[in-house]
Chains A and B, each alone.
Chain A
Amino acid sequence: MNDREPLTFLMTQAAEYQEQANLVARGSEPDKNDWRKYFGFSTDHKVIGIQYLVTTFIFYLMGGVLATLVRTELATPASDFVSREVYNSLFTVHATVMIFLWIVPAGTGGFGNYLIPLMIGARDMAFPRLNAIAFWIIPPAGILLMSSFFVGAPGSGWTSYPPLSLMNGKAGELIWILSVLLLGTSSILAAVNFIVTIFKMRIPGMGLNQMPLFCWAMLATSFLALVATPVLAGAMILLSFDLIVGTNFFNPTGGGDPIVYQHMFWFYSHPAVYIMILPVFGMISEIVSVHSRKPIFGYKAIAYSSVAICGLGLIVWAHHMFTSGTPPWLRMFFMITSMIIAVPTGIKVFSWLATIWGGKLRLESPLLFAMGFISLFVIGGISGVMVASVPWDIHVHDTYFIVAHLHYVLFGGSVFGLYAAFYHWFPKMTGRMLNETWGKIHFALSYVGFNLAFMPMHKLGIEGMNRRIAEYDPKFAALNLLCTIGAYLLAVSTLPFLVNVCWSWVYGEKASDNPWRGLTLEWMTTSPPPVENFDADPVLATGPYDYGMGSRATEVNVAFSDASDPVLSAGPSSTLRAKPDPAVAASPSDRVGESHNR
C-alpha cells in the first residue's frame, strides 16, 4: 500500500495504542506562539475558543463583583448599603452577565469552539469567519451592558417582566434589550456553525455513535439555541417597541398582555438553562471517564439522554409561570413534562457514578471539580423536581428557595463543570500544566464557600423570604449573614485560580501531548496544537472511551499508508482493530459489556 514499513507495536494501553495510530496525524510543534493573534480577528477555532474563554471569564469576574455587592447589601436586614434602585440594578445586571456573558458563551463558544474540531479530527469549524464574527459580537455587547450603569442600569430583573420593565429607566432597559439581542445573535451564529461542523466535518469512520459525548451535548445545545433564541429576539423586539414607540403588545393599559411576554421569554429561557448545562454535561462525561481510567458507562444512554433533554426542554417553559394565572390544565401539563425531564438527567448522573465506581481515580483538580459538580448538581436536581410540583412551587416560587435551586444547578453545576474543564484542558490549550496544589485549594474553598452561601437559602425561601428584595424581615438575619460570609469565601476562592492560571500559562511545567492519557482526538496532537490541528487526518484506533481494553499484549500490524482511508479508521473492517477484538475483554470475568462506541 505504501512505502512505509508496517509498524508493529506492543499494545499495552488503549491510550498508547490510540497515540501510536495517530503518530502521523500528530501536528508538528507550532513555531513561536504569537500572543498578538489573541487580540485580532483570527479565524482559528482555537484562538477564538481562548478568546471566548478569557473574555467570558473577565465578565464572570465583573458579575462576581456585582454578586458580592448584592450579598453585602443583604448582610443586614435594612437597606443600608446602596439605594434600593441601585440594588435592583445590581442583581439584574449580575444575572444577565452571568447567564449571557459567562455561562452560555463560555460553555458553547469557549469550550465548544476549542474542542469540537479537535475532537472530530477537523482542521477548523465549518464557517471560520462566521465563528469570528460570533465572538466579536460579545465584547461590545458586554461593554454596552456594563456601561448602562452610567445612565441608570436596568432594574427589573434578568426576566425583565413588563409592565415593570416599561416603567423603570428607559435608557437602561433599552441597553439591556440591545445587548441581549446582540448576545442572542452571537449564540445563533455559533449554533449554526456547531451543527454543520459536527454533521459534516467528522473524520471518516467516526459515525455519530463514535463521537465523544461532548459532541452529542453540543449538538443538542446548538439545536436548542437555534430553535429557542429567535423567540427571545421576538420578545425583545416587541418589548422595545412598547418601550420606545409606545405600542401595547405587553402593556395592559393599552390592552396588551404581560403574560404573553412571559410565555415568549420562558420559551427561550427554560431551554437556555439547558444551553448552559448540556455542554457541561458533555465535558463531565469526558473528564470522569479519563480520570477514572474506565470507559464511560452507558455511552448511548448518555448520548441519547442529551437528545431527550433537548426535546423535553422545549415543552416545559411554563413551569416558571405556575402562579401567573396559568390555567389548571396547563399547570398540570407543564408539571408532568418538567418532572419527566428529571429522568434523562438522572440517567446521566447514575452513569457518571457507575463510571467512577471501580475505577482508578486520579483525584486531581479536574476530577475533584467533576465529582463536586455531581454532588451539587444532584441537590439542584432534587430541588428542581420539588419546584416542578405545582402545589410546592405555588409556595416557593419567587423566593430564596428558587435562588438556591438555580445556583445549585448553575453554579454548583455549570460553573463547577467549567472549572473542571479548565483544569482538564488547560494543558492542551497552553502546553503548560496548572499547579495541582493551588487547584486543590481552589476546589476546597469553592466547595465550602458555595455550600455556605447557598444551602441556607433553601430554608430562607421556605420560611418566607421572597427574592429580589433589598431589605428583609430581621428574623432572617442570621442565615443571611451566613450566606454573605459564604459569598465572600466564594469570591476569595477565585484568587487561587486566577493566580494559578496566570502564573502557569507563562511558567508552568511543560505539558506533554497527552498528560491525562486520554483517548479522544484532541490529545492526539501537540499541546498546544498547531494552526490546522493535525498534519494528517487522525484515525480512530479505539473508541473515545475504550480505557482498559488493551491491557494485554497483542501484536498488531498497522500500515499507515493512507490515513484518510476509512479502512484504517474505526469500524468492523478496520485493520487498526486489534485481534482478538479488544471489545471482548481478556479475561472472561471482565467481559461485562461490549464497547458501545466503536
Chain B
Amino acid sequence: MNIPSQITTLLAGIALTLVSFWYGQNHDLLPISASVESIRVDSLFNLMMTIGTGIFLLVMGILVYSAFKFRREPGDESDGPPVHGNIPLEILWTAIPAIMVLGISIYSFDIYNENGGADPMDHSMAHGKAHQQMASMPGSAMAGTLVAQADPNQQKAEVVNSDPTTAAIREDLPQKKDAPTLGVVSPKIGGAEPGAPEFVVNVAGMQYAWLFTYPGTDVVTGELHVPINQKVLVNITANDVIHAFWVPQFRLKQDAIPGRQTEVRFTPNRLGEYPLVCAELCGAYHGAMNTKVVVESAEDVQKWLQSQQVASAEGLSKAVATTPANMTETEYLAPYAKEVGISADTLKQLHSEHHSMS
C-alpha cells in the first residue's frame, strides 16, 4: 500500500463518520414528539440511525468500489489471489459489532427503565382495584364477564377461606380473581411503586372503537383527554379480539388483550391533538379504528370531563344496571357539581373501591 491510498482511506473514513453523525441527527424521519418518553426513544433511534448509516455506507461503499475497481478484464480467465482469511480481521469484525449491539442493548435497557410507563406488569399491585372497576364498566362486557363469571377455582378458594383459621389471614392470601393478568397468582405481594400516576384512564378496545372511562366519574367517551405534564396511566383491555393502543407521537404502544389487563404510562408534554391508532389487526375495519388523544391543561381536562359527565349521564344510566332507576337526573348529577371526580354514590354504583383518583 502506498501512502496516498492510505490517506484516501483515512479521508473516506472521516467522511463516512461525519455523514453518519450528521444523518443520525438530521434524518427527518420521526413525527412530532409529544411526551417525555418519546424524547428518550428518539435519542435511542438517532443513535441507532447513526450507527446504521455508518454500516450501510461502509457496505455500499465497498460493493460499489469493488464493482468498478475489481471488475475482471475482458478475456482474463485467471483467478484472484488465494486469500483464505485473516484471523485478526475476523476477530475485529466480530468484536466491533458485538460491542455495538451490546452498547445498543444497554442503552435500550436504560431507556426502557426510564420509560417504565410502558411496563404492563410491574405496577399491577396498586391498581388491581382500578382494573376491577373498569371491568364492570359498560363496554367492557367481555372482560367483565371474565372476572365476574363463576370460576370453579375461585369457588373452591371461597370454601377454603370460609374456614375460620384461613379467614383470619384471608386478607393476605392472594385471590385469583384479583390477579391483574391470567397466570399471575400473587397480586398482593409487593408494595406500591414510587411515583404513582396522577391521572388514570381505563380503556377498552372493541371492534372497532376505543371506549375510555375516567375512574371516579361516569364519563365514557370515544376519545382520550389527558392533562399536560402529569403522569398518565392507561389501563387497557379488550372486549372481543386483540387490539393495540398506539400513539405515534408518544412512541408508545401496548396491545389490548381480551382476558388480560395491560397498561401504558406516559407524561404528555406538548399541547395538541394526536392520532390514537389501533395497531393490531382486529377485523375488516381495523384501518378505521382510530381516534384522537387530546393533550390539554389540567383545567381544560376537568372542564371537558364535566361537560361529558352531563352528556353521558343518560346513556350511562341505561347502560349500568346498578344505577338506581328512581334517581332523578339532578340527584344523580348533584355530587359532581361539588367535586368532579369524587362521588361516594357513583363509586358505590360502579362497585369501585378505587382510591387513586385525585
Compute how far the CA of A398 lies from the CA of B240 in the bound complex, rounded to whole angstroms. Answer: 19
Interface positions of B (Cβ within 8 A of A): 29-31, 40-41, 44-45, 48, 52, 55-56, 59-60, 62-63, 66-67, 70-73, 76-86, 89-90, 93-94, 97-98, 101-102, 104-105, 108-109, 111-112, 115, 118-122, 142, 145-146, 151, 181-183, 240-242, 244, 246, 248-249, 251-255, 257-260, 262, 275, 277-288, 290
Q: Which residue of A lies closest to B55 (CB)?
A: A382
Cβ contact of A343, chosen from B48, B85, B94, B181, cutoff 8 A: B94
Assess A517 versus B55: contact at CB under 8 Å? Given A295-B84, A391-B40. no
Cβ contact of B82, chosen from A257, A397, A467, A546, cutoff 8 A: A546
Assess A470 versus B287: contact at CB under 8 Å? Given A359-B80, A361-B70, A458-B29. yes
The answer to whether A398 and B280 have CB atoms under 8 Å apart is yes
Compute how far the CA of A545 lies from the CA of B277 in the bound complex, rounded to whole angstroms. Answer: 53
A386 to B: closest C-beta gap in Å: 5
Please give, as numbers and ranges, the residues of chain A lying within 8 Å of B89 by CB-CB distance.
Answer: 354
Cβ contact of A468, chosen from B94, B102, B122, B281, cutoff 8 A: B281
B47 to A: closest C-beta gap in Å: 10
Please give, as numbers and ranges, the residues of chain A lying within 8 Å of B85 by CB-CB distance.
Answer: 297-301, 593, 596
The answer to whether B94 and A335 have CB atoms under 8 Å apart is no
Binary flags per residue of A346-361, CB closer than 8 Å to B gives 1, else 0: 1101110110111111
The answer to whether B240 and A163 have CB atoms under 8 Å apart is yes
Binds B, one of A47-55, A117-125, A373-381: A373-381
Compute how far the CA of A293 lies from the CA of B59 in the bound complex, rounded to whole angstroms. Answer: 20
The answer to whether A350 and B56 have CB atoms under 8 Å apart is no
Q: Is A474 an interface residue (CB 8 A)?
A: no
Q: Is A164 an interface residue (CB 8 A)?
A: yes
The answer to whether B101 and A342 have CB atoms under 8 Å apart is yes
Q: Which residue of A lies closest to B256 (CB)?
A: A325
Name 25 A/B residue pairs within 8 A (Cβ), A-sorted: A164-B241, A168-B283, A253-B142, A294-B81, A297-B83, A301-B94, A323-B244, A323-B255, A328-B119, A346-B93, A358-B70, A360-B70, A371-B63, A374-B63, A385-B101, A391-B111, A392-B45, A395-B252, A462-B29, A462-B248, A468-B287, A548-B78, A548-B82, A582-B82, A592-B83
The answer to whether B44 and A398 have CB atoms under 8 Å apart is no
Compute how far the CA of A256 lies from the CA of B260 in the bound complex, rounded to whole angstroms. Answer: 11
Please give, as numbers and ranges, the residues of chain A lying within 8 Å of B122 by CB-CB distance.
Answer: 328
Assess A335 versus B257: contact at CB under 8 Å? Given A13-B79, A356-B63, A391-B40. no
Compute how far the CA of A466 lies from the CA of B285 in the bound complex, rounded to whole angstroms. Answer: 13
Compute how far the CA of A275 lies from the CA of B219 in the bound complex, rounded to whole angstroms. Answer: 51
Q: Is A139 an interface residue (CB 8 A)?
A: no
A202 to B: closest C-beta gap in Å: 21
B230 to A: closest C-beta gap in Å: 21
Q: Is A441 an interface residue (CB 8 A)?
A: no
The answer to whether B41 and A298 have CB atoms under 8 Å apart is no
Please give, as numbers and ranges, the residues of chain B lying within 8 Å of A88 by CB-CB distance.
Answer: 281, 283-284, 286
The answer to whether B79 and A548 have CB atoms under 8 Å apart is yes
The answer to whether B281 and A156 have CB atoms under 8 Å apart is yes
Q: Which residue of B lies closest to A262 (CB)?
A: B242
Please give, as numbers and ranges, the residues of chain A lying within 8 Å of B83 by CB-CB distance.
Answer: 294-295, 297, 354, 358, 590, 592-593
Q: Which residue of B lies closest to A12 (CB)?
A: B78
The answer to whether A389 and B104 have CB atoms under 8 Å apart is yes
Compute how far the CA of A468 lies from the CA of B86 in the bound complex, rounded to whole angstroms. Answer: 46
Most-contacted residue by chain A among B48, B85, B258, B290 (CB, 10 A): B85
Q: Is A1 an interface residue (CB 8 A)?
A: no
Compute how far the CA of A293 lies from the CA of B66 in the bound complex, rounded to whole angstroms. Answer: 13
Cβ contact of A339, chosen from B94, B102, B120, B277, cutoff 8 A: B102
Q: Which residue of A lies closest to B182 (CB)?
A: A257
Most-contacted residue by chain B among A350, A351, A395, A590 (CB, 10 A): A395
Compute how far the CA of A361 lies from the CA of B97 in the bound complex, rounded to whole angstroms. Answer: 28
Q: Is A515 an interface residue (CB 8 A)?
A: no
Q: Which residue of B lies closest to A547 (CB)?
A: B79
Q: Which 9 A-B pairs have the closest CB atoms?
A: A252-B259, A469-B287, A464-B248, A548-B79, A548-B82, A84-B284, A593-B84, A339-B101, A382-B52
Compute how far the CA of A358 lies from the CA of B72 in the bound complex, rounded to whole angstroms. Answer: 10
Compute how far the CA of A550 lies from the CA of B64 in the bound complex, rounded to whole angstroms. Answer: 29
Please give, as numbers and ranges, the residues of chain B lying within 8 Å of A491 by CB-CB distance.
Answer: none
Cβ contact of B279, chosen from A85, A168, A362, A466, cutoff 8 A: A466
